[in-house]
Amino acid sequence: DTGVSQDPRHKITKRGQNVTFRCDPISEHNRLYWYRQTLGQGPEFLTYFQNEAQLEKSRLLSDRFSAERPKGSFSTLEIQRTEQGDSAMYLCASSLARRASEVNEKLFFGSGTQLSVL
Amino acid sequence: QKEVEQDPGPLSVPEGAIVSLNCTYSNSAFQYFMWYRQYSRKGPELLMYTYSSGNKEDGRFTAQVDKSSKYISLFIRDSQPSDSATYLCAMSDGQAGTALIFGKGTTLSVSS
């Protein structure tokens, strides 16, 4: 399977714990996005990388959230001191831009990590 | 008012029906319009991608964009039970890397 892969698929944690999610994009894709989706809502943008550089962050991404994409390959999203309001599906998407300025919004999503904070 | 409005449904139709799904938006800078299909407990899957106004057809799916009315539609002909899913509209202003703005999604159920 050459699609976007996310791990784990499900995560249950207690309030106050730290959690980390991993995303492996489609191999040739240089852009990687994190979105969050709650029940009955569309995905909401969190952050995006062009190769290893984090270029944009949403106001939704509080100081407790951090994302990395070392060497422009896989990415991790860490949530520290989780709160019940963090419960959501965390979606990763990737895309291919042939130039840094290219507009390419054909995003390919993974199946997401469902986080439940008790 | 949210930037993108989409009736969440649910929408129930019999097999073979024509389905019309719609979104309205407020940001006149949006130029790229997409429809994603999302099955339960899966990520969204890109169905249709259009730039600016006009129609685009792909098999049983037709996407329409009317920028003057800030209104986009997705039509599904000869609907099948396998079309049962949540359909999300999404749009962007086309700046490199700019986040997509999604609607809430419309849940469609096609009965056989």
pLDDT at residue number B68: 93
* B25, B46, B89, B93: best to mutate for the A interface, most A CBs within 10 A: B46
Single out the residue of B30, B24, B34 nearest to residue B89, CA to CA.
Answer: B34
Closest CA of chain B from A27, distance in Å: 18
And the tokens for B61?
Answer: 């799916």
Cβ contact A107–B94 (<8 Å): no
Q: What's the longest Cα–Cα distance across chain A?
A: 43
Query: Looking at the partner chain, which of B45, B97, B105 has a beta carbon nearest the beta carbon of A42?
Result: B105
- How many Cβ pairs within 8 Å bridge chains A and B? 69
Burial of B46 (0-12, 13-18, 19+ CB in 10 A): middle
End-to-end CA distance of chain B: 37
Nearest Cβ partner for B97 among A50, A109, A114: A50
Chain A residues whose CB is inside 8 A of the B87 CB are none
The alpha-carbon gap from A39 to the nearest alpha carbon of chain B, in Å, equals 9
Q: What is the pLDDT of residue B53?
A: 84
> How far apart are the C-alpha atoms of A2 and A88, rounded to whole Å?
25
Tell me the C-alpha distance between B37 and B39, whole Å: 7
Per-residue pLDDT tens listing for chain B (112 residues) = 678 999 888 999 999 999 999 999 999 999 999 999 999 989 999 999 998 888 999 999 999 999 999 999 999 999 999 999 999 999 988 776 678 899 999 999 999 9
Note whether A109 contacts B6, CB cutoff 8 Å.
no
- Nearest-by-Cβ selection for B99 from A58, A100, A103: A58
Taking the CA of residue B69 and the nearest CA in chain A, the distance in Å comes to 22
What per-residue confidence (pLDDT) applies to B76? 97
What is the reported pLDDT for B87? 98
pLDDT truncated to tens, each residue of chain A (118 aa)? 579 999 999 999 999 999 999 999 999 899 999 999 999 999 999 999 999 999 889 988 889 999 999 988 999 999 999 999 999 999 999 998 877 667 656 889 999 999 999 9
Chain A positions in Cβ-Cβ contact with residue B41 (cut-off 8 Å): 111-112, 114
